[in-house]
Amino acid sequence: MAQHAALGCGTQVYCQSFMVIIALDIGTVRVGCASADDSVRIPFPVAVWPRAKYQAEREILKLVEDRGAKLLVVGMPLGPQGERTAICDSVESFVRRLAKKIGRAHV
């Protein structure tokens, strides 16, 4: 379900559709989530979920469906020099599982 904003001038009304974006910060214990649409520049916090027992994955999938999200943005935990860190493989694995369940994501 897309979100819409009506922009009117006199009797003419234009409908502009906004793309919903969900941003994820994936840690070893928890996943932080924020959401925005492409009409704003600042995402707003949604929730923090535990990774245990796939709870975060279930909640993210529900959020994607409920908000009709078209884009997931995932932060990679790179080191100070831009190098991969120990958790990068875990984050990539989490994202691949989400992509398979969503079916339309590109990793």
Query: What is the tens place of the pLDDT at every residue in 69-94?
Result: 989 999 999 999 999 999 999 999 99
d(CA 82, CA 59): 30
Q: Spell out, as residue ranges, where the chain has pLDDT lower than 50.
A: 1-15, 107
pLDDT at position 2 is 40
Structure tokens at 103: 């079916």
pLDDT at position 37 is 85
pLDDT at position 43 is 87
pLDDT at position 104 is 63
pLDDT at position 16 is 52
d(CA 67, CA 38): 13
| Order of all β-strands in the sheet with 44-50 | 44-50, 30-37, 20-26, 71-74
pLDDT at position 10 is 45
pTM value is 0.78
